Structure 1
Amino acid sequence: MYRQLSYKSKQFFIAIIKLSIIVGASYYIYNKLLNNKNLNFYEFTSFLIKIDAFSTKNTVFLLLLTIFNWFFEILKWRILVSTIKKISFFEALEQSLGGLTASLITPNRIGDYGAKAIYFEKQYRKRIVFLNLMGNVSQMTITTILGIIGVVIFYSTYDLDLNYQKILRIFIIIVIVVSFAAFGLQRSRFKIKGFSIEHLIEFIKNLPRRIHISNLGLSFIRYLIFSFQFYFLLQIFGVDIDYKSAMIVISSMYLLASIIPSLAVFDVLIKTSAAVYLFSFLDVDELTILSISTLMWLLNFILPSMFGSYFVLNFKVPKASD
C-alpha cells in the first residue's frame, strides 16, 4: 500500500508519523511529570529546593554520567551495525536517540526496533532488528546476572516475609509455559516474517567473537555507570549508606523492574515501586526514593529523548528503500 502512494503522499504520510511520535512522547513526559499520582510535581520540585543539594559540581557530574551512559550505548550500537555496514558515530547517535524517542509510547519500548530499522535500506532491516535484539539481550543478561547476585545477598541479609508456596506455584507455572513454548517453537519452525529461529541462531553464531565480547563488555560498563548514578543521587540526598549495601539493593531493584513486561508509560512506576519497597529495608524514606527514581528517569530517558525528537523530525527515508 505504501509503495502505491505518490512521492508527495509518502512525504505527507511520513510527516504525520513524525508528528505523532513527537506529540505522543511530549504527552507522555507531560503526563508523568504533572499527573503522577505517586509523586506530586510541585512537591518534587519543592523537595529539591529544600535540600539544596544540586550544586553546579553535582549537576555537571550527573550530566556527565548520563552522557557516558549514552556514549557507550551508542558505541555498542555502532559496533553491532558494523557487521552489516559502516556508520559514523553521529549516525549511530541519531539512530539510538531517535529510536528512544519513538519507543517511549510503545510496549516494552518495542518501537525502538522499527525506528532503527527504517534508517536502513530494506535488505538490511531484518538483520538490524536482530542486532538490536542482541544489544538489548546483552544488557538484560548483565542486569539478570548481577541482579540475581544482589537478590541472593539481599535475601540473606534482610528478614523478608515471603509466601514460599505462592513463589513455588509461580515458578512451576513459568517452567511449564517456557517448556511448552520451546516445544512449540521446535515443532512449528517458528518464523519472524520469514526469518526462522534457525537462521537467527546461525546469524548469531556467524558474528565474530569480538562483537559478542564488545556487546557484553559495553553493556556491563553501562550498568556500572547508571547504577553508580543512582548511588551518587543517594549521597546527594544525604542517605548514609556505603556503596556495597546500596548496590545490593540497586541491582535487585533493576532485576525486578526488568523482568516485568510493561508499557514504557508504566516503566518508571514499576522501577519506583520496586525501589521504594527494597530501600524501605534500609530505612530510606519514600519521598527520597521517589525523587531519585524520577531524576534517573529524567536524566537517562527524557533528556536524551528531547535530542531524539530533533532527529525524528529531520528523519529522511533511505533512498534505496521502497
Structure 2
Amino acid sequence: MPRAPRWLFALKGVLAVVAVAVLVRLAHPANVWRAFADAEWGWALAALALVPVNVGLEAYRWGRLVRRLAPEVRHRDALRAVVGSYPLGLLTPGRVGDYVGRAVYLRAVPPGASAALTFGERMATLAACLVGGLAALGPYLRDAVAPSPLWPAVVGVGALGAGALVVAIAFPSVARAALSAVLPFEPVRRAVAAFDRIPREESVTLLALSGLRYLVFSTQFVLLVRAVDPGAALGGVALGVALVFFAKSAVPQVTLGDLGVREGAAVFFLGAYGVAPAAALDASLALFALNLVLPALAGVPFLLRLRVAAREAERVGGVAARGRVAA
C-alpha cells in the first residue's frame, strides 16, 4: 500500500479510538458496562439473526447489477465476493478495499466496471439513508426545544443531495454522463460505461432493494437499543436511528469504519428521545460489531485462500520461468 494511504489508515484508526474513548468517558465507563451487562439478550439475538439478511441483500443487489454485464455470475459468486471483501473494506480508508476485493474475487467483470457497480450500489444505500433521515427531521425539528438556525440549510442540502442521488440512480446514463464530465479521464469513462448496460427498471429495483436493506439495518439498531434500554419509546428510537444514519451519511468518513461518528450521533439524537448516553453508545458499538466486524471475520478464510492461491500461482510461474531458462 502506498505511504499516504497507510498514514491515512493509521490516522483514521487513531481518531476512531480517541472518539470512542471520549464518548465512553462522557457516558461514564461504569454506566456503559452496566447497560451492556443488564441487556436483554433476546433483542440482541434478533438483531444478530438479521445479519445474514443484511449481507445477503447487499450481495443480491450487487449481483443483479453484475449479471447485466456477466449473466453467468451466480448469487453465491456475488455473495462470496462481497463477504470476502469485508476484511479489506474494514481495514482500508473509506472502505476502498471493498472495491478491490470484489474485483479480485469476481473476475467475470473487468475491475473498473466492478468498481463502478459497487459505487452505484453504495450511492443507492446513501440515498436511502438521506431520504429516511429527511423524513425523520420533520418530527425532530417540531419537537426540538431550540432548533439551530442552521437546520434549514441542512434540510435544503440534504434534500438536494438525496434528490440528485435518486435521479442519478434511476437514470444510469445520466450518472455516467455526469461522472464522465466531472472526472474526464479515460479509465473512469471506461469504468462508468457499465452504467449504460443497466436498464431503468433494474435501477428502480436497486432503489427498492436499498430501501429494504435500510429498513433491515435500521431495525437492527432499534432492536439493539431496546436490548440495552428496554424502557425507550419505540417510535422515538426509530426516529433517532433514522437521524443517526442521516448524520453519518452527511459527514465525510473521518474515522476508520465511521467508528466514533456514528456513536456520537447516536448519543446526541437518541438522547433527544430519552435514551441514556451509555445505552446509545452500547447499541451503536454493537451494530458496528454485527454488521462490519462479524462479516469481516467470516470473510477472513476467503482472504487467506486468496493469498494462498496467489502464492501458489507465483510459485508455479517461477518454476515455469526457470524451466524456460534451462531449456
Q: AA paired with 1:306? A: L
Match of 1:231 among 202, 205, 222: 222
Match of 1:100 among 70, 83, 86: 86
How far the C-alpha of 1:163 sits from its partner, in A, is 4.0
Tell me if 1:290 matches 2:277.
no
- The runs of 5 or more residues in structure 1 that have no matched partner are 1-15, 179-184
Match of 1:72 among 35, 39, 57: 57
Tell me if 1:53 matches 2:18.
no
How far the C-alpha of 1:253 sits from its partner, in A, is 1.0
Percent of aligned pairs with the same amino acid: 18
How far apart are the structure 2 equivalents of 1:224 and 1:52? 23
CA 1:59/1:96 → structure 2, altered by over 3 Å: closer, same or farther?
same
Aligned-partner SS, 1:138: helix
How far apart are the structure 1 equivalents of 2:151 and 2:273? 27
Q: Given that residues 232 and 274 in structure 2 are in contact (C-alpha distance below 8 angstroms), is that contact kept between their aligned partners in structure 1?
A: no
Query: How big is each residue's C-alpha offset from its partner over 1:215-272, in whole Å with a ceiling of 9 and x where there is no partner?
Result: 1122111111111111112222234344332222211110111111114516020011
1:8 match: none
Tell me if 1:91 matches 2:77.
yes
2:110 match: 124
Alignment of 1:131-170 (within 5 A): 131-164=117-150
Q: Given that residues 268 and 293 in structure 1 are in contact (C-alpha distance below 8 angstroms), is that contact kept between their aligned partners in structure 2?
A: no
TM-score (norm 1): 0.74
Query: How big is each residue's C-alpha offset from its partner over 1:279-303, in whole Å with a ceiling of 9 and x where there is no partner?
Result: 2222321111111111111111101
Q: AA paired with 1:196? A: R
Query: How big is each residue's C-alpha offset from its partner over 1:128-154, in whole Å with a ceiling of 9 and x where there is no partner?
Result: 111111110111111111111112221
How far apart are the structure 1 equivalents of 2:90 and 2:66? 23
Tell me if 1:191 matches 2:184.
yes
Question: Across the two proteins, how many residue pairs are aligned to each other?
Answer: 281
Aligned-partner SS, 1:282: coil
CA 1:165/1:44 → structure 2, altered by over 3 Å: closer, same or farther?
closer
Q: Given that residues 104 and 264 in structure 1 are in contact (C-alpha distance below 8 angstroms), is that contact kept between their aligned partners in structure 2?
A: no
CA 1:44/1:118 → structure 2, altered by over 3 Å: closer, same or farther?
farther
CA 1:234/1:123 → structure 2, altered by over 3 Å: closer, same or farther?
closer
Compare 303-312 and 116-125 and name the one that shifted more.
116-125
Q: Given that residues 233 and 292 in structure 1 are in contact (C-alpha distance below 8 angstroms), is that contact kept between their aligned partners in structure 2?
A: yes
Alignment of 1:231-310 (within 5 A): 231-263=222-254, 265=256, 267-310=258-301
How far apart are the structure 2 equivalents of 1:108 and 1:59? 28
The answer to which structure has the higher helix fraction is 2
How far apart are the structure 1 equivalents of 2:62 and 2:255? 21
- The runs of 5 or more residues in structure 2 that have no matched partner are 165-177, 314-327
CA 1:165/1:70 → structure 2, altered by over 3 Å: closer, same or farther?
closer
How far the C-alpha of 1:165 sits from its partner, in A, is 10
Q: Given that residues 100 and 305 in structure 1 are in contact (C-alpha distance below 8 angstroms), is that contact kept between their aligned partners in structure 2?
A: yes
